[in-house]
Amino acid sequence: MTKTEKVNDILAILEKFYPKVETPLHHKDAYTLLVSVLLSAQCTDERVNKITPLLFKRADNPYDMVKLSVEEIREIIKPCGLSPMKSKGIFGLSKILVEKYNGQVPQTFEELEELPAVGHKTASVVMTQWFGKPAFPVDTHIHRLAYRWGLSTGKSVEKTEEDLKRLIPEKKWNKVHLQIIYFGRQYCPARGHQWRECPVCQKYMRKELRD
């Protein structure tokens, strides 16, 4: 089997199990998505979705967010972890959006990644899931699965993103990114993984990772 055939088969499996996928983080616009993705670092989407309504009730736009203090933001988002860094990031990026972008979230990777606490993965999520621009966000979760399935060398998140972009058609990037997230949670978790019960791993898991 060629690499292309393998990739097509994996994509077919993902499509079979998750033909319809939605962004797991609740949001109403680019700003609330940006803040939600920032909060999701080292935190589950489920927990973020419980905290963001509390935060967005106080401030669901950059103009209202900068009226809060960093400490007020921190108190609300504490359950998401890393609250000192995240609260400063949320306040800082909101201030820049107000002062430089008329309250609007910019639509380029360069401008997004210049915002406080916004890395390439966060920018990629906003670019593809809100603005519909080609991007393939890779977090540690997708990085792990790509290595486990033999789609990447696993040397770095950056290399995994490069490999997946090369192997998967650009028009499918956004959907496949989400499909991998949902599929991994259900069938290919980091802990308690039973590769014989995973529809992908039973066929394509790296030999050195098997029991």
User: 159-165, long-range: CB within 8 Å, 24+ apart, which pairs?
Assistant: 161/136, 164/136, 164/138, 165/136
Q: What integer pLDDT is reported at residue 114 of this predicted model?
A: 98
Which token pair is 88?
Answer: 């400063």
How many angstroms separate the CA atoms of 97 and 196, rounded?
48
* pLDDT tens-digit series, residues 177-207: 999 999 999 999 988 999 999 999 999 999 9
pLDDT at 150 over 80: yes
What's the burial of 155, exposed, middle or buried (CB within 10 Å: 0-12/13-18/19+)?
A: exposed
Q: What integer pLDDT is reported at residue 1 of this predicted model?
A: 83
* pLDDT tens-digit series, residues 87-122: 999 999 999 999 999 999 999 999 999 999 999 999
Choices 3.20.20.70, 2.60.40.1180, 1.10.1670.10, 1.10.3720.10: CATH for 3-21+136-209: 1.10.1670.10
In this prediction, residues 9-14 reach a mean pLDDT of: 98
Q: So where are the chain's domains?
A: 3-21+136-209, 30-129
What percentage of the chain reaches a pLDDT higher than 90?
94
What percentage of the chain reaches a pLDDT higher than 70?
100
* pLDDT tens-digit series, residues 42-82: 999 999 999 999 999 999 999 999 999 999 999 999 999 99
Q: Which residues are annotated as catalytic?
A: 121, 139
Fold assignment, 30-129:
Endonuclease III; domain 1 (1.10.340)
pLDDT at 23 over 90: yes
pLDDT at 154 over 90: no
The confidence band for 210, taking pLDDT boundaries of 50, 70 and 90, is confident
Q: Return mean pLDDT, the chain.
A: 96
Q: Is the pTM of this model over 0.95?
A: no
Residue partners of 82: CB distance under 8 A and separation at least 6: 41, 42, 43
pLDDT at 125 over 90: yes
Closest of 209, 199, 206 to residue 11, by C-alpha: 199
pLDDT at 211 over 80: no
